[in-house]
Chains A and B, each alone.
Chain A
Amino acid sequence: MTTIDFQIRYFEDVDPADEFEEAAQPTTDSVIGWLTVDAPRRGWTGEGDEQPDLPRTRFIDAELALEQGLPGAIVPGAMSMAILTKLVTNWMGPTGKLRSIEVDFRRLVLHEDSLRCIGLVTDTLEEDGASIVKLDVYMENERGERPLQGTASVELPHRPE
């Protein structure tokens, strides 16, 4: 667990070309955790109960992934996007509002990949009375690839006068 510096981020303190980053390393256990978020509702507590039956998929089964021509079990795209979303929600602080985020999945994210999640401020503007920060967001892996690349839009508060 990493702790985050959770300060209010004000619009006035953000400039184009500002950069921020976080590290991430999704494991097979975390992928199983992702796929079973809804398990408590189905009565599985993870303590002494049987693990819910997970379908055999390329997300947890390396053998099946290999059969499908993949180099190994892959991290679900939505989970990779969630990890990149976390970069932005951590950065924007408790009063920032994430308005939108969109990504392209360009390369596979494999279990145990060492990922750098990077955000870059591309614009700051006022839009319909709201102060908006536009970001480029992407992930880099240790193979020099950018498996996810996209943009996000965040609304930040003004610093009180």
Chain B
Amino acid sequence: MTVEPASEAEAAFEYDESAIGVDVDVGSFEITREQIEAYCEAVDETNPLYTDEAYAQNSPHGTIIAPPGMLHTMPLSQGLDPKLQVHFKSTSFHAGQGMEIFGPIREGDSIQARSQVKEIYEKTGRTGRMVFVVRRISYVNQDDAVVAAIEHSFVNREMGTR
């Protein structure tokens, strides 16, 4: 057993605490047929609810709906705001992601996205110190219905260390 020597990495990470829990408008977008088609091609999606108009018209939704994963591809005007200004010598990776779906997203819907930083915490694992940032983005349609929420966790970790 060896004890890891203290290093620069021992320095506490810093971030802007006032950004936690604050809802920030991160933009709105329309769900278009072109986007649905481009998405379906990218992930080889053949589900007729998303790809076949005649089939979709006879489905419970009555029209083509967007695959839930498509929300991930929509640009948010301010990226991953609110910005936390995390200062930690590291590279950022996607650690995990969850999605809740509350209702269908239809072609032509106008979706508003709101984001908040839910929590930020530090963990020490096999590969060293890591800082996790968890954000939650809620998606609201033109009828004020929350149709989905995505929570994702990014890990800031040092590269090249064990």
Contacts and interface: CB of A to CB of B under 8 A. Distances in A.
A, B bound: yes
Contact of B48 (A38, A86, A94): A94
A57 interface: no
B32 interface: yes
A4 B51 CA distance: 12
Contacts of B97: 77-78, 81, 102-103, 105
B54 interface: no
Q: Is the interface of B mostly helix, strand, loop or mixed?
A: mixed
A83 B28 CA distance: 24
Given A4-B47, A33-B41, A68-B91, A104 B96 contact: yes
A80 B67 CA distance: 14
Contacts of A34: 39, 42-43, 73
A38 B74 contact: yes
A130 interface: no
Interface string A88-131: 01100011011111111100000000000000000000000000
Interface residues of A, number: 42
B95 A86 contact: no
B72 A79 contact: yes
B38 A40 contact: yes
Interface residues of B, number: 40
A76 to B, nearest CB: 8
B53 interface: no
A36 B73 CA distance: 8
A81 B72 contact: yes
Given A1-B44, A38-B74, A83-B43, A100 B99 contact: yes
Residue from A31, A38, A40, A95 whose CB has the most chain B CB atoms within 10 Å: A38
Interface of B: 29-30, 32, 34-35, 38-39, 41-49, 59-60, 67-70, 72-75, 91, 93-101, 151-152, 159-160
Given A37-B70, A94-B59, A102-B98, 8 more contacts: A2-B44, A2-B46, A30-B43, A33-B38, A34-B42, A69-B91, A85-B67, A99-B100
20 contacts: A4-B47, A33-B38, A37-B70, A40-B34, A40-B35, A78-B72, A78-B73, A78-B94, A81-B97, A81-B99, A82-B43, A82-B67, A82-B70, A82-B72, A85-B69, A86-B67, A89-B47, A90-B47, A100-B100, A102-B151
